[in-house]
Amino acid sequence: MPFWGGYGGPSLGLGWLLPLVGLLFMAVVAFFCFRMMAGMAGPRCGGRRRDHTTQQPDDLRREVEELRDEVRRLREGIEGVTAWMQRE
């Protein structure tokens, strides 16, 4: 009985092609994974990711302050509503 189970067997001697295609696919996937982890893959239009400038921390601080102010306003609004509901 032949090694491949007695049915057909490798036709035309192309049994090496499927493993080669599989290895090629795995290499391409690994390449893109490492590329994305390294931060080289930018947006779909082909540019690199935004450079970190010295102004970025200032922007973040300003945004945090704006969010804190908004939370304070919402909290005051909720306290006003709960006080109004408790009166009735």
Q: In 1-88, where does DSSP find H-type helix?
A: 17-37, 56-87
List, for residues 19-35, the tens digit of each pLDDT value.
889 999 999 999 988 88
Q: At 13, is the pLDDT very low, low, confident or very high (cuts 50, 70, 90)?
A: low
List, for residues 48-88, the tens digit of each pLDDT value.
555 555 678 888 899 999 999 999 998 888 887 777 777 76
Q: Give ∠ CA 29-14-31 in degrees, rounded to 5.
A: 10
What pLDDT is stored for residue 1 in this prediction?
45
pTM above 0.75, yes or no: no
Average pLDDT estimate for 27-46: 75
